[in-house]
Amino acid sequence: MKYESIRNLKIPRIGFGTWKIGGGSSPDLKMDSVSMAALRSALETGYTHFDTAEMYADGHSEELLGRAIRESNIPRESLFITSKVTPSHLKYDAVLSSCENSLRRLQMGYLDLYLIHWPSVGMKLEETFCALNKLAREGKVRHLGVSNFNLKLLKESQAHSETPILTNQVPYSLSDRSYVKNGVLDYCQRNDILFTAYSPVDEGRMRSNSALESIAKAHQATVHQIALAWIISQPRVITIPMSANPVHIAENFNAADIELTGGEIEQLSKAG
- Taken in order 81, 121, 125, 99, the sign of the CA dihedral is negative
Confirm whether 56 is a catalytic residue.
yes
Can you tell me whether residue 226 is helix, strand or coil? Answer: helix
Annotated catalytic residue within 56, 114, 172, 179: 56
DSSP state of 15: -
What is the C-alpha to C-alpha distance for residues 70 and 116, in angstroms, rounded to an integer?
A: 26
What is the C-alpha to C-alpha distance for residues 214 and 197, in angstroms, rounded to an integer?
A: 24
**Beta strands 9-12; 3-6: pairing state:** antiparallel
Q: How far is C-alpha 260 from the chain's CA centre?
A: 22
What is the C-alpha to C-alpha distance for residues 6 and 166, in angstroms, rounded to an integer?
A: 8
Sequence-ordered strand ranges (E) for 36-149: 49-51, 80-85, 113-116, 144-147
Please list, in sequence order, all residues whose beta carbon lies within 8 angstroms of the beta carbon of residue 80, skipping any fewer than 6 positions away: 11, 12, 15, 48, 49, 50, 112, 113
What is the C-alpha to C-alpha distance for residues 191 and 47, in angstroms, rounded to an integer?
A: 27
DSSP string, 228-262: HHHHHTSTTEEE----S-HHHHHHHHHGGG----H
Amino acid at 219: H
Active site residues: 56
